[in-house]
Amino acid sequence: MRIALDAMGGDNAPEVNLHGALEAAQAWNCEVVLVGHKERLEADLKHFNTKHLPVTIEDTPDVVEMSEAPAEACRAKPRSSIMVAAQLHAEGKVDAMVSAGNSGATMTAALMHLKRLEGVSRPAIATVLPTLEGLCVVLDMGANVDCKPKHLYQFAVMGSIYAQEVLGLPNPRVGLLSIGEEEGKGNELTVATHELLKASPLNYIGNVEGRDIPFGRVEVTTCDGFVGNVVLKFGEGMAEAVMQLMKDEIKKHPMAILSALFLKGVFKDIKKKFDYAEYGGAPLLGVNGVAVISHGKSNAKAIKNAIGVATEAVRHDINGKIRKILEESTPEPVKPAPHV
């Protein structure tokens, strides 16, 4: 299996990308195609022992910067590392693509080159969140800000397959993010989506509230990309603020300063649990291929795990399974996806 890695994408590229790629090649038994500036990459690779490792370079001059407007940058730089990674995938030269670069550009490049998966109206970004009970796939995290019930239904299908096949969660419970658990509670969008999900073959348990996610009541949560993005950022902010507050308060209590030394292990374990690097990036589900969007701050471990996620998605043929469920159960006929 071959995975294209945008070697130039991310705040710490290309160093951590190379490091992560080499670890991934060993760990996940795959070939990694490093897409980026050949001279630079070859020079950096000299610092690593790459003998016998299936890592190759696809030379391309341009890079989409983190601050660039995604659509414009992708059009203006067809030979940028992220666009070439997507192109290699579309041409069948690799089986998946991974980027820690400009996430909007990663999405745009994947959509432009791979197009949508047959039967899927809107690809969605799926984020894996740690919960007190394990993991929860939440989607969409921001690809689609205005959604229809059909879209949320398809997100649920895609998230469910992903949870089952890539995260190894059998029969994942699916929830519809809403206000109030009772049937009929919510806005126009969720009330209509509820009807579609009830009739679906998914393990749908009904509406869930925001607090049900961290407490692990479901393994999959579907919502529109506006809600998903706002919620995720608020939750991250709250968790960070609580930790910050705790550190500030500890400084005020003389006895607590001492005891905080003993708590280092606790803080470290908690940090690890909430460490995005463990979960390896957010797949863009619903494109005709496998595209994984990694955090811009990715370290080598995050890159390695993102490549791992990509290999699992390919090995388990999640797209074939998504297509199959959508074909069998889609509530209304879905037209073939037009070009994006």
Q: Give the interface with its own copies as residue ranges (CB under 8 A).
A: 131-132, 142, 145-146, 177-179, 186-188, 190, 209-215, 223-227, 229-246, 249-250, 252-253, 255-256, 258-263, 265-266, 269-270, 273
Closest CB to its own copies among residues 229, 311: 229
Closest CB to its own copies among residues 76, 145: 145
How many residues make up the chain in this entry? Answer: 340
Min dist CB 247 to its own copies, Å, is 10
Q: What is the DSSP string of 247-283?
A: HHHHHH-HHHHHHHHHTHHHHHHHHHHT-GGGTT-EE
Closest CB to its own copies among residues 92, 265: 265
Closest CB to its own copies among residues 110, 177: 177
Min dist CB 245 to its own copies, Å, is 6
Closest CB to its own copies among residues 171, 244: 244
Could you give the C-alpha distances from 16 to 7, 103, 121, 268, 281, in angstroms and in order? 9, 17, 35, 22, 15
Question: What is the token pair recorded at 37?
Answer: 């500036």
Min dist CB 275 to its own copies, Å, is 13
Min dist CB 203 to its own copies, Å, is 22
Min dist CB 79 to its own copies, Å, is 27
Sign of the CA dihedral with 39 first, then 44, 46, and 52 last = negative
* Dihedral angle, C-alpha 211, 215, 219, 225, nearest 10 °: 30
Sign of the CA dihedral with 57 first, then 59, 60, and 65 last = positive
